[in-house]
């Protein structure tokens, strides 16, 4: 274990530290004295403080030291802008950025990529220069989808990584704990703070038997999604184990882990096995495979390890599944699918079949898909529906081009899209149906929520294996079961498709294709980060002001929000995503979805200085201009939903002082603290009702201390006597410093400068 093996061929000096992991694990083992699951071993071997950390699954908050960070281009913008404001010369944890989300599918790979390069030029220029400056590996547009690139180049057994994308768990196919996080968490780890996460529960999935015929790895997760539903994995890691795992390809295991995001799981993973070794070998990382073999005893669960829940699946009996429409957990075995189509009146005609994406674009997937297409073409048939192919990476694209699968899929009628997310994330200029027209599409992707692919709420999107996508595309209908139904060949004779076949790994090795990687240069100090001052998509972040050391008197309530206020209400997505890298512009969506208690309406509040009714962001800007700090009053579980850091940055940017609520969603509460906003809760939840939207408040900020409440004095608008309310908070010592310094990043910058 003392050997030095680099984490990836692309970087020098970043080593896999099995020795340290082993030492940490031994400390935790002595403390817990019980068998551990594999996921627990990885988590506990990455603890910041293995001696002192509380460890209780589902309860404690773990402070962890991830090995790597990966960001996609949409989320990387604000993460890097924030990191820059910390004033550090380079990232403290190896990090990569991947350009994949901003490429729209329109007419085919080459042209679409060119178009994206011109539309997104300023974003790509910013990412490329900032990566160069801060020692971040940069994967250019056209390189492929983040999760595929990570599996091919960065994931390793026993490692811990975080990524600013929900399908980061894909790396569990190489035995890694890989978790999707918000930008704020990524910034912490880039800046050398530990990453905090609630100790997950562990759901075991025991696989026995062996798959055959039309059943593919995807069917395992389609089945599990049906069992656990979209909420069933929340707060848990799904740990696959059992003899059935050894028959799956590494990329197949990646597919299963990838789509674990659809059941809300923290992540999913498989134990290290020979198939992972073979994949490491094929992707030029034999040294990592050998090193992992030397640590293999800790790269699977202990005998007798206990799971919080256990599911067993016999692969010999597993049928191919199709999930959907509109939700990934509506699982239907192929034998019952025709009946379900009829019973539910789903549109029978299949308009489009789409294969590939980060979920299902391995060499094995493409080879099996091509084998079906080949079989069909030998009978004189081609795709009846529109058919698209999205390679997950340039390496996959180049390899299937060299080995012929790409040509087969094109001859079959496929349009090859860019190596990017494309239709999976709605980057699809779809023209074959009108908006609102009910229609069916089927893909090998992972997510199929309403409108996700083409923004048409009437599109019935199904997800399945690439094998079934090709078969259904061939039939042009959802009423086709390739296991039992025959097709008519060009001469009118009936025939049954052969079950798909395909190698897991290319016999002649992978072809890397075009070079799409930009390594950080030797001389980074002279690199200047490209941000145009006139850009409306990017804006350098100025550090927030430190606290002035005083109580804050006579503040207006910007809005007293009523009922559910999610991060979507605080910082809406949709068209606003374009401004993710421009804090001032995106702040024009601040709280526009929150319901004002005063009038029951969204985005209509009274400006207390003018008496006029105006939009929330405009009112906040007016206060800011006049040098007036303001507060937000909110209800229960304020800030639930996706962990968007913009929801905390925007109120801070527009001059907010505090958010005072009945209760917080924990991540949003922490995000507010990080940005120097005060998240406070009513000690008596009923006090929420005592405050009226037009009241003014004084906040005794000088009282802020660990474990002590803070006083708020309320000056009622009706002129009645002022009264005090007690507010609680969850600040610890270091977090109090965040408040005093103006933000967590200011604190890091200050400490780094000392
Ligand atoms: Fe996310 Fe789809 Fe891109 Fe995968 S292909 S990273 S699921 S948008």
| Residue 673 to residue 469: CA distance in whole angstroms | 47
* Distance of CA 122 from the midpoint of ligand 1 (Å): 22
| Residue 393 to residue 516: CA distance in whole angstroms | 10
Does ligand 1 have an atom closer than 6 angstroms to the CB of 105? no
Query: For residues 642 and 158, which has the higher predicted lDDT (pLDDT)?
Result: 158
| Residue 37 to residue 45: CA distance in whole angstroms | 12
| Residue 567 to residue 634: CA distance in whole angstroms | 12
Q: Active site includes 101?
A: yes
Does ligand 1 have an atom closer than 6 angstroms to the CB of 145? yes
* Distance of CA 359 from the midpoint of ligand 1 (Å): 8
Q: How crowded is the C-beta side of 370, counted as CA atoms within 13 Å? A: 21
Helices (runs of H) and strands (runs of E) counted in the chain: 23, 30
pLDDT value of position 754: 60
Query: For residues 256 and 457, which has the higher predicted lDDT (pLDDT)?
Result: 256
| Residue 270 to residue 273: CA distance in whole angstroms | 9
Listed in sequence order, the residues at least 6 apart from 435 whose beta carbon sits closer than 8 Å to its beta carbon are 455, 456, 458
What ligand 1 atom has the least distance to the C-alpha of 390?
5
- The beta strand positions in 578-675, using DSSP E, are 605-606, 613-614, 630-634, 656-661
**Residue 317 burial (CB count, 10 A):** 10
Does ligand 1 have an atom closer than 6 angstroms to the CB of 640? no
3 state DSSP class of 449: strand
Q: What is the pLDDT of residues 518-559, one digit of tens each?
A: 999 999 999 999 998 899 999 999 999 999 999 999 999 999
Q: Which residue is catalytic, options 101, 368, 430, 580?
A: 101
Cis peptide preceding 120, ω within 30 of 0: no
Does ligand 1 have an atom closer than 6 angstroms to the CB of 421? yes
* Distance of CA 106 from the midpoint of ligand 1 (Å): 17
Quickly tell me which residue has 């390809």 as its tokens: 249
Percentages (nearest 5) of helix, strand, coil residues in the chain? 35, 20, 45
| Residue 385 to residue 347: CA distance in whole angstroms | 13
CB 562 within 8 A of CB 597: yes
Quickly tell me which residue has 């990966």 as its tokens: 70
pLDDT value of position 72: 95
Q: What is the pLDDT of residues 400-454, one digit of tens each?
A: 999 999 999 999 999 999 999 999 988 899 999 999 999 999 999 999 988 889 9
ipTM computed for the complex: 0.99
The backbone torsions φ and ψ at residue 706, rounded to the nearest 5 degrees and listed phi first, read -60, 130
What average pLDDT score do residues 312-317 get? 98
Quickly tell me which residue has 């390496």 as its tokens: 395
Q: Active site includes 571?
A: no
3 state DSSP class of 523: coil
What ligand 1 atom has the least distance to the C-alpha of 447?
7
Listed in sequence order, the residues at least 6 apart from 242 whose beta carbon sits closer than 8 Å to its beta carbon are 206, 207, 208, 312
Element (H, E) at 711: strand 710-715
Q: Three-class SS string for 274-287?
A: HHHHHHHHHCCCHH
Query: Largest Cα–Cα distance of the chain, in whole Å?
Result: 92
What ligand 1 atom has the least distance to the C-alpha of 425?
8
* Distance of CA 127 from the midpoint of ligand 1 (Å): 19
- What is the separation of C-alpha 332 from the centre of its chain, rounded to a whole number of angstroms? 26
Does ligand 1 have an atom closer than 6 angstroms to the CB of 67? no
Does ligand 1 have an atom closer than 6 angstroms to the CB of 425? yes
pLDDT value of position 276: 98
Q: What is the pLDDT of residues 261-305, one digit of tens each?
A: 999 899 999 999 999 999 999 999 999 999 999 999 999 999 999
* Distance of CA 360 from the midpoint of ligand 1 (Å): 11
* Distance of CA 472 from the midpoint of ligand 1 (Å): 23
Measure Cα distances from 187 to 71, 166, 536 in Å: 10, 16, 23
3 state DSSP class of 442: strand
In this structure, what DSSP letter does residue 351 have?
E
* Distance of CA 54 from the midpoint of ligand 1 (Å): 35
Mutation choice for ligand 1 from 147, 362, 420, 423, CB with most ligand atoms inside 8 A: 147
Among protein residues, the one whose CA lies closest to atom 3 of ligand 1:
421
3 state DSSP class of 250: helix
Torsion of CA 109, 167, 163, 247, to 10 degrees: -100
Does ligand 1 have an atom closer than 6 angstroms to the CB of 395? no
Among protein residues, the one whose CA lies closest to atom 5 of ligand 1:
421
Bridge pairing between strands 630-634 and 656-661? parallel
Lowest mean pLDDT among 101-105, 534-538, 548-552, 724-728: 101-105
Kindly state the tokens that stand for 664.
């917080």
Does ligand 1 have an atom closer than 6 angstroms to the CB of 358? yes
Q: Active site includes 452?
A: no
In this structure, what DSSP letter does residue 13 have?
S
Does ligand 1 have an atom closer than 6 angstroms to the CB of 165? yes
Q: Which residue is catalytic, options 166, 535, 642, 663?
A: 642
What ligand 1 atom has the least distance to the C-alpha of 72?
6
Q: Residue 88's closest CA among 132, 127, 134?
A: 134
Burial of 58-96, coded b for 16+ CB within 10 Å and e otherwise, reads eeeebbbbbbbbbbbbbbbbbbbbbbbbbebeebbbbbb
* Distance of CA 395 from the midpoint of ligand 1 (Å): 17
Mutation choice for ligand 1 from 361, 421, 422, 443, CB with most ligand atoms inside 8 A: 421
Q: Which residue is catalytic, options 57, 241, 300, 447?
A: 447
Measure Cα distances from 518 to 96, 139, 140, 156 in Å: 10, 6, 7, 21
CB 316 within 8 A of CB 212: yes
* Distance of CA 421 from the midpoint of ligand 1 (Å): 5
Q: Which residue is catalytic, options 321, 537, 580, 644?
A: 644
| Residue 25 to residue 19: CA distance in whole angstroms | 10
Kindly state the tokens that stand for 446.
């992972």
Q: What size, in residues, is the chain? A: 754
pLDDT > 90 in the chain, percent: 90
What ligand 1 atom has the least distance to the C-alpha of 146?
6
Does ligand 1 have an atom closer than 6 angstroms to the CB of 695? no
What average pLDDT score do residues 246-273 get? 96
CB 170 within 8 A of CB 147: yes
Q: Which residue is catalytic, options 165, 185, 329, 365?
A: 165
Bridge pairing between strands 494-495 and 95-98? unpaired
Q: What is the pLDDT of residues 644-687, one digit of tens each?
A: 899 999 999 999 999 999 999 888 999 999 999 999 999 999 99
Please name the residue ranges forming H helices in 135-260. Answer: 146-153, 183-190, 217-228, 250-258
Q: What sign does the dihedral 61-65-68-71 (CA atoms) show?
A: positive
Q: Active site includes 644?
A: yes
Q: What is the pLDDT of residues 465-510, one digit of tens each?
A: 999 999 999 999 999 999 999 999 999 999 999 999 999 999 999 9
The backbone torsions φ and ψ at residue 63, rounded to the nearest 5 degrees and listed phi first, read -105, 120
Query: For residues 3 and 710, which has the higher predicted lDDT (pLDDT)?
Result: 710
* Distance of CA 281 from the midpoint of ligand 1 (Å): 26
Kindly state the tokens that stand for 275.
């198939």
| Residue 743 to residue 694: CA distance in whole angstroms | 29
Quickly tell me which residue has 């939840």 as its tokens: 685
Q: What is the pLDDT of residues 558-589, one digit of tens each?
A: 999 999 899 989 998 777 878 999 999 999 99
* Distance of CA 129 from the midpoint of ligand 1 (Å): 24
Q: Which residue is catalytic, options 45, 57, 98, 100?
A: 100
Does ligand 1 have an atom closer than 6 angstroms to the CB of 424? yes
Burial of 706-727, coded b for 16+ CB within 10 Å and e otherwise, reads eeebbebbbbeeeeeeeeebeb
- pTM comes to 0.91
Does ligand 1 have an atom closer than 6 angstroms to the CB of 357? yes
Q: Which long-range contacts (CB under 8 A, 24 or more apart) does 226-231 make?
A: 226/321, 226/323, 226/329, 226/330, 226/331, 227/311, 228/203, 228/263, 228/311, 228/329, 229/263, 229/329, 230/262, 230/263, 230/264, 230/327, 230/328, 230/329, 231/263, 231/264
* Distance of CA 516 from the midpoint of ligand 1 (Å): 19
Does ligand 1 have an atom closer than 6 angstroms to the CB of 446? yes
What ligand 1 atom has the least distance to the C-alpha of 359?
4
| Residue 186 to residue 201: CA distance in whole angstroms | 22
Among protein residues, the one whose CA lies closest to atom 4 of ligand 1:
358
């Amino acid at each position: 274990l003392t050997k030095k093996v680099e984490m990836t061929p692309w970087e020098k000096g970043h080593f896999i530290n099995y020795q340290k992991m082993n030492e940490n694990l031994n400390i935790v083992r002595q403390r817990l004295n019980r068998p551990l699951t594999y996921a627990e071993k990885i988590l506990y071997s990455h603890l910041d403080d293995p001696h002192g950390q509380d460890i209780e699954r589902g309860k404690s908050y773990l402070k962890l030291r991830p090995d790597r960070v990966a960001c996609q281009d949409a989320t990387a913008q604000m993460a890097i802008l924030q990191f820059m404001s910390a004033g550090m010369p380079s990232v403290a944890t190896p990090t990569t950025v991947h350009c994949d989300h901003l490429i729209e599918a329109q007419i085919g790979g080459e042209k679409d990529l060119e178009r994206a390069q011109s539309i997104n030029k300023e974003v790509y220029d910013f990412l490329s220069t900032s990566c160069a400056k801060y020692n971040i590996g940069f994967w250019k547009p056209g390189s492929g989808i983040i999760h595929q690139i990570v599996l091919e180049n960065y994931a390793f057994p026993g490692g811990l990584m975080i990524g600013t994308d929900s399908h980061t768990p894909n790396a569990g196919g190489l035995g890694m704990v890989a978790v999707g996080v918000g930008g704020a968490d990524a910034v912490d780890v880039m800046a050398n703070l530990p990453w905090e996460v609630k100790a997950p529960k562990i759901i075991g999935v025991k696989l026995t038997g062996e798959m055959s015929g039309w059943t593919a790895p995807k069917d395992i997760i389609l089945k599990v999604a049906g069992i656990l539903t979209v909420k069933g994995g929340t707060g848990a890691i799904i740990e696959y184990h059992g003899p059935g795992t050894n028959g799956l390809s590494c990329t197949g295991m990646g597919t299963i882990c990838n789509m674990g995001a659809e059941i809300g799981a923290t992540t999913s993973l498989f134990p290290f096995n020979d198939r992972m070794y073979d994949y490491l070998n094929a992707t030029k990382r034999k040294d990592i495979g050998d090193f992992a073999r030397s640590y293999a005893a800790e790269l699977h669960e202990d005998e007798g390890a206990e799971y919080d829940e256990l599911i067993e699946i016999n692969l010999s009996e597993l049928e191919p599944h199709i999930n959907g429409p509109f939700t990934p957990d509506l699982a239907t075995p192929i034998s019952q699918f025709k009946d379900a189509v009829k019973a539910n009146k789903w549109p029978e005609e299949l308009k489009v079949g789409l294969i590939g994406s980060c979920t299902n674009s391995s060499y094995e997937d493409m080879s099996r898909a091509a084998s079906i297409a080949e079989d069909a073409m030998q009978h004189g048939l081609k795709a009846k529906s529109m058919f698209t192919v999205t390679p997950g990476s340039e390496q996959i694209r180049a390899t299937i081009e060299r080995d012929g699968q790409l040509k087969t899929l094109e001859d079959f009628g496929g349009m090859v899209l860019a190596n990017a997310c494309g239709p999976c994330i709605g980057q699809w200029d779809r023209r074959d149906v009108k908006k609102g027209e009910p229609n069916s599409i089927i893909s090998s992707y992972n997510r199929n929520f309403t409108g996700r692919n083409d923004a048409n709420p009437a599109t019935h999107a199904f997800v399945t294996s690439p094998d079934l996508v090709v078969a259904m595309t061939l039939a042009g209908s959802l009423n086709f079961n390739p296991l039992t139904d025959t097709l008519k060949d060009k001469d009118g004779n009936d025939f049954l498709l052969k079950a798909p076949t395909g190698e897991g790994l290319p016999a002649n090795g992978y072809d890397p294709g075009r070079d799409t990687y930009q390594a950080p240069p030797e001389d980074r100090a002279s690199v200047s980060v490209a941000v145009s001052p006139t850009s409306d998509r990017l804006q350098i972040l100025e550090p927030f002001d430190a606290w002035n050391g005083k109580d804050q008197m006579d503040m207006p309530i910007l809005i007293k929000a009523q009922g559910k206020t999610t991060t979507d209400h605080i910082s809406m997505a949709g068209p606003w995503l374009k401004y993710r890298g421009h804090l001032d512009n995106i702040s024009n969506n601040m709280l526009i979805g929150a319901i004002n208690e005063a009038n029951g309406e969204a985005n209509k509040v009274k400006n207390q200085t003018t008496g006029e009714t105006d939009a929330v962001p405009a009112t906040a800007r007016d206060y800011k201009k006049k040098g007036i700090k303001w507060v937000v009053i909110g209800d229960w579980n304020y800030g639930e939903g996706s962990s968007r850091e913009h929801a905390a940055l925007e109120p801070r940017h527009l001059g907010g002082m505090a958010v005072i609520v009945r209760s917080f969603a924990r991540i949003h509460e922490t995000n507010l603290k990080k940005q120097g906003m005060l998240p406070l809760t009513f000690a008596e939840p009923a006090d929420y009702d005592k405050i009226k939207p037009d009241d003014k408040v004084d906040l005794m900020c000088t009282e802020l201390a660990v474990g002590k409440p803070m006083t708020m004095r309320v000056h009622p608008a009706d002129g009645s006597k002022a009264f005090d309310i007690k507010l609680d908070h969850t600040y610890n010592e270091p977090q109090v410093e965040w408040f005093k310094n103006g933000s967590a990043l200011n604190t890091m910058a200050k400490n780094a400068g000392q």
